[in-house]
Amino acid sequence: MSITVPKFTSKTGDRFVRLLRKENTFVANLDALGSFVWVTIDGTMTVKGLLERVKEKFPGEENIDQRLFLFLQQMMALHYLTY
C-alpha cells in the first residue's frame, strides 16, 4: 500500500515548492504491517487493541510488538499520526 503525504506543511515550505514548480507531496510505500496498521487505525483504538489485532493478523511473526511500536513512533515523528 502507498500513502501520499505532504513534503511541507508550513506556508513557507508550500511557497518554496510552488516556486520550484514541484509537487508538495510524495508517495510513501508501506510494508504489510504498515499497510494493515494504516487501514486499521480509526482514531479510537488503543495501542493495546491495535497490538492484539496485529498479532491476530500476523501470527508467529517475531518481534511484532517491537515492529508495531517502531512503526507508530516513526509515523508520529513524521507527523503522519497524532494523538
What's the pLDDT at 7?
74
The length of the chain, given as a count of residues = 83
Name the residue among 78, 77, 53, 82 with its Cα closest to residue 65.
53
Domain ranges of the chain: 1-30, 31-83
Q: pTM, whole model, 2 decimals?
A: 0.74
* pLDDT tens figures, 34-72: 999 999 998 888 999 999 999 999 998 999 999 999 999
